[in-house]
Amino acid sequence: MVIWLIICNFGKYYSEPMEQSLIIIKPSGVERGLIGPIIGRFQQKGLVIAGLKMMMLNEDLLRQHYAHLVDKPFFASLIKSMTACPVIVMCLRGKDAIAVIRSLVGPTNCRNAAPGTIRGDYGMSSQENIIHASDSPENGIIETNRFFSPEEIFDYIPANISYIYSPDERD
């Protein structure tokens, strides 16, 4: 009976409407002492942390991650910036998580980002812009799989889930 209830609820929480995003707290966020405040913002919002670790990025991985930018004049500088120190990578989950997270993060150039957003509150740069967040549900899955192995992602149901979503929002 207990196992049956767990299986039912698991299906409810992780069914199609729940999206996932890769987050990277970039060297600009790590070196400026912003790991705690940034993780705190996502937790306070009600997003679920399904994976979290510190790692050193390398050029091979970044060429895949930033494949859409390899021909840009700033690409070499971007690689240097992203490999300057270890980063924090996270897998966050939630309903409409991609749009919710992108709105919490703000636009690419921190100088254009509104107060209250992460980039608006913490940055002044287009490149040293504190954080990465996935830009579509498809990329959320692709990017998470690129940075995490399956055993590093945890499919648990948070104990406070019924205070974050109504039952119909979890269907």
Give me the residues that bind Mg ion (CB under 5 A), please: 135
- Residue 61 binds what, of ligand UDP, Mg ion, none (CB under 5 to 8 Å, by partner type)? none
Residue appearing with tokens 């899955």: 141
- Name the nearest CA neighbour of 50 among 91, 18, 19: 91
Are the C-beta atoms of residues 69 and 139 closer than 8 Å to each other?
no
Q: How far is CA 165 from CA 17, 95, 161, 162, in A?
A: 12, 9, 6, 6
- In this structure, what DSSP letter does residue 24 have? E
Nearer residue to Mg ion within complex by CB, 36 or 73:
73
Nearer residue to Mg ion within complex by CB, 128 or 135:
135
**Residue 132 sits in the site that holds ligand UDP (CB under 6 A):** yes
**Residue 135 sits in the site that holds ligand UDP (CB under 6 A):** yes
- In this structure, what DSSP letter does residue 88 have? E
CB of 160 to Mg ion, least distance (A): 30
Nearer residue to Mg ion within complex by CB, 90 or 170:
90
Nearer residue to Mg ion within complex by CB, 46 or 83:
83
**Residue 127 sits in the site that holds ligand UDP (CB under 6 A):** yes
- What's the token pair of residue 112? 């254009």
- In this structure, what DSSP letter does residue 114 have? P
CB count in 10 Å sphere of residue 84 = 16
The interface with ligand UDP within residues 50-89 (CB under 6 A) comprises 69, 74, 78
As beta bridge partners, residue 48 has: 93
Which of these is catalytic: 25, 132, 143, 144? 132
Q: Where along the sequence are the contacts to ligand UDP (CB under 6 A)?
A: 69, 74, 78, 108, 126-127, 129, 132, 135
- Catalogue the active-site residues: 132
